[in-house]
Structure 1
Amino acid sequence: MDIYSLPDYRNFEHKINEKKTHLFILKNRTGMQVAFTDYGARIVSILVPDKFGNLRDVVLGFNSIHEYLQADEQYHGATIGRFANRIANGQFHLDGKKYTLPRNNGSNCLHGGPTGFHSKVWDRRTSFKKKIEFCYVSPDGEEGFPGNLKTTVSYELTEENEIIIKYKAETDKKTVVNLTNHAYFNLDGEGQGDVLNHILHFPSDHFLPIDESQIPLDNEASVDGTAFDFRSPKKISEDIDKDESQLKHGNGYDHTFVNHQPISQVAASAYSPDSGIRLEVFTTEPGIQLYTGNFLTDKDTGKSGRKYSSRSAFCFETQHYPDSPNHPQFPSVVLEPSQILESETIYKFSIKKEI
């Protein structure tokens, strides 16, 4: 097995649009180590102990800022905004006014546009041994979105091997906001092949079906009798290649699961029998996008020197529903100047005991 270590911080000292970038590291007493960069306020590495006591880096990523800038997949580990996921036809209406956004995913605007939050150098607000906070102010009209939006994201590493992510956003003009983190997980270790052996569990009994352009239809659908039923834990491989139209639309799983769990309860989990590592997700968000890396293309070489192929990772993107501004029946993503958006997600790692 590979011996994993954190990237060299010197490879993250760079300048992008006259702003310096860096690598930051949080550690706890159990040996877990998490690395971040202010480029995209993103997670670079997560080293967690496996069932053998070895550290494995369980997120995909790169060893330098230069590689992030050149990557085919731009979203590895990044904070996504202003609007995570897709907005149909790159447009929405707010108070009768039409807003037009860049189309960077067919006819859709994806993840806030080509120069969304993932491409910005965030300011570091605070930095402690176990907590770091980043801030970015998006100017009115950036990528077509209204309002000056001030966003902060903090990451805290606990002694219980939790990464607590807290988002906060304020605007001076009515706008729409949907924030998430886009970490690609492989609990066997990044570069260790596909994740089809991973066992997933979603207590959710509904998901959002999508059309051919991956925009959600108007109504939630029951998972009963579909490949989307993870209420009993099952391997990703069990149903991902079934002859179902929804799987064809996403080239696999690329769908939002409806979350009704309070943050005190597990909203989703994944487990690798090979490493023994379990990931549990807790969130205040109404949805979790399960994405099984269907569009990774071998174009990127990761930290371990191996290509990132299709289905070599999965994402648990906690967020509001895709295309929400165009679906008034969905949970609201509207943020008023008088409001403060606050959201929390916890990624908790542990070793699952064999029964």
Structure 2
Amino acid sequence: MPQPAPHREPFGHTPDGRPVGLWRLESASGVSAEILTYGGILHRLSVPDTAGRSRSVVLSLPDVPTYAARSPYFGALVGRYANRIAGGRFSIDGRPYRVPANDHGHALHGGPEGFHSRLWQAEPAGDRAAVELSLLSPDGDMGFPGALSVSARYALDEAGTLSVAFEAVCDRPTVVNLTNHAYFNLGGAGSGDVLGHLVEVDGDEFLPVAPDAIPLGAPQAVAGTPFDLTRARPVGEALAAEDHQLKNAGGFDHCWVLRPAVEPGALRPAARLSDPASGRALEVWTTEPGLQVYTANQLDATLADADGHHHPRHGGICLETQHLPDSPNRPEYPSTVLRPGERFTSRTEFRFPHLPATPA
């Protein structure tokens, strides 16, 4: 059965009056996704449970003005540098650069006007349920050097897998780290927190951080710590452990170093999440070397979606595939430098193994 073509509908306007589009992708599996041109936001991701009841499994907000004013990066495409750069300062080839500090004296997610706040161009991609977003980030944008041309393709296949594939090229050496910042709740918005979800991460090491969330240095083995998610365990059980790393962050807000891929650039498993109540399950596969796990520690139920469902503390969990935080200042970490003539590529897949196999 051919995938339905993506279709677009209006979704209000940016704060400066430009029209925002909502693109809807549909799959034969019953999974559907809604993507906004504002911020490249994954606004809804509706997934059937084991009884066939469909609910959106990502947290959302009601309209563009709320996303622009108050969103903690719900569902957004994040760049030019996801996660943190210490002091907002880094050097390339001995030349210093500075990005505005917007988080405890450090640059977070590309600065205050990062890719999450931009209006992306969009068009259908190929002959299936896919949409390609594009953005030109000019030289000096938020302090980053070089013009960067970025594309992000969301695609939904017949099995219900949602993929996010990035490509980027530049005209001067720069740093790039891109991710999607969806907050997952497999019970659906309005179902409460995710403390009962089971989480597993394919990483034997993580990066301990200082109280300001900057890595302390080398990765540390997860064995014997609350960060040992090599076997599935309840989120709440892990967060209840007495540990200064958890206390400082209010939960998980840490990067796991994923196990190496079979070959460079190959997809590898990163994480699994399941909700015993609904039976929904999620697998994350990626080409990236790291996974930032964030348990929505700062949510406080003041934000709500269009249906009036409020988002409580730990109301979602982010599984952000990416390079490691502060890599531009850590030569021992995998490099995030992109040079002219090179092409940045990254692919992440969100799979739902509880869904029945789609007939051939």
Secondary structure of the equivalent of 2:293?
Answer: strand
Within 5 Å, give how 1:65-214 maps onto structure 2. 65-71=64-70, 73-127=71-125, 129-214=128-213
Letter in 1 for 2:314: R
TM-score of the superposition, structure 1-length normalised?
A: 0.93
Secondary structure of the equivalent of 2:248?
Answer: helix
State the distance in 2 between where 1:183 and 1:303 align. Answer: 17
Letter in 2 for 1:27: E
Give how far 1:155 is off. 0.5
What residue number does 1:52 align with?
51
Distance verdict in 2 for CA 1:9–1:66, change over 3 Å = farther
State the distance in 1 between where 2:150 and 2:40 align. Answer: 11
Give how far 1:260 is off. 2.1
Secondary structure of the equivalent of 2:65?
Answer: helix
Give how far 1:176 is off. 0.4
What residue number does 1:281 align with?
284
TM-score of the superposition, structure 2-length normalised?
A: 0.92
Within 5 Å, give how 1:4-19 maps onto structure 2. 9-10=9-10, 12-17=11-16, 19=18
State the distance in 2 between where 1:114 and 1:151 align. Answer: 19
Give how far 1:17 is off. 4.0
Distance verdict in 2 for CA 1:280–1:261, change over 3 Å = farther
Letter in 2 for 1:285: E
Distance verdict in 2 for CA 1:321–1:265, change over 3 Å = closer
**Counterpart contact for 2:200–2:231, Cα < 8 Å:** yes
Secondary structure of the equivalent of 1:266?
Answer: strand
Within 5 Å, give how 1:193-272 maps onto structure 2. 193-262=192-261, 263-272=266-275
**Counterpart contact for 1:147–1:172, Cα < 8 Å:** yes
Distance verdict in 2 for CA 1:214–1:15, change over 3 Å = closer
Q: Which residue, out of 342, 349, 352, partners 2:352? A: 349
Pair 1:311 & 2:309 matched: no
Deviates more, 1:44-53 or 1:263-272: 263-272
What residue number does 1:5 align with?
none
Give how far 1:352 is off. 7.6
State the distance in 1 between where 2:326 and 2:302 align. Answer: 29
Give how far 1:93 is off. 1.3
**Percent identity, aligned pairs only?**
40
Letter in 2 for 1:186: N
**Counterpart contact for 1:60–1:303, Cα < 8 Å:** no
Letter in 2 for 1:350: P
Secondary structure of the equivalent of 1:238?
Answer: helix
**Counterpart contact for 2:62–2:304, Cα < 8 Å:** no
- Unpaired stretches in structure 2, ≥5 consecutive residues: 1-7
- Unpaired stretches in structure 1, ≥5 consecutive residues: 1-7
After superposition, the C-alpha distances for 1:324-353 in whole angstroms (9 at most, x for unaligned) are: 011110000000012000110001113289
**Counterpart contact for 1:254–1:290, Cα < 8 Å:** yes
After superposition, the C-alpha distances for 1:16-72 in whole angstroms (9 at most, x for unaligned) are: 54542111100011211100000011100000000111001100012322332232x
State the distance in 1 between where 2:339 and 2:47 align. Answer: 40
State the distance in 2 between where 1:304 and 1:9 align. Answer: 19
Distance verdict in 2 for CA 1:87–1:195, change over 3 Å = same
